[in-house]
Structure 1
């Protein structure tokens, strides 16, 4: 599995390099570079045994799909950090899989055909996060909190409780994502 992931990483590294950094706007280039540095360092810090190639590929994939689905790369990275420590081999006790910890049913609903493919897993997680951000867009300052809670507990739980559900796991998840996100934003602003 690790050799397959490394092979995919190497191919994508060469193919995506120009895609992620080919913007004409210098300010956007600077933003992408800052996102890349912060996410690369976070992946490497969270998962050093997978090495620099995986950190590079993960950072590029997260940034690419966040641009595609209009999600903050730092929010997606913070969520993936808490969900799996950016580990494809991660499988939860409920059956959630990969970096994004997608449930098979959610993956199917999103059109993901291979939940164990790193590219599809990461895109699926970002698509799902984008859906949650859209679902809770009318909640203003609570939008991101509810979207992260919905990513963990499902959107119906947030609707049923008209806010954060009283699930310890979900409350802890939201808080842990918030802490990582704050750290990533500080690192981003410091570059």
Structure 2
């Protein structure tokens, strides 16, 4: 059940802010739980659309996709919204170093809570490279298991069009990816990164 008067689109059972502290404290199998971080930009399908259109699209897709993930095996964080910049054609741009640091701080907080498997689900083409770099760095530096999903790879370019078929296909693909990721085993050696030695 959604909190009264909630304006957020989310899957109620997996949205972290709607969980109670007692539930999180007693959470089982933290090593296997997926923590989903939605990362949004500020694209809009047309000039009259609000700048939060991209976030609303992504959270709606995730709300449906998380329905197929086993109960109590996934948590979704509140969306992060920025565009890697600077750019003269976009508002609210963030320097790459600052955006990287923000993602790192969020992920380290997740790690401090006992969770190690994080999925970046990104809706902005301008944030794709940053997400990939941050995921790699967090894997190497902090022994976290990171996955990246970009909406463009699911057939949605820039922002989902009004075509409901495209949106439905993207939602189905997102569901399958999350279920596949969930089935993967946790990293060995508690995620410790072991550089490969050349013969």
TM-score (norm 2): 0.31
- More strand as a share of residues: 2
Greater RCO (CA < 8 Å, at least 6 residues apart): 2
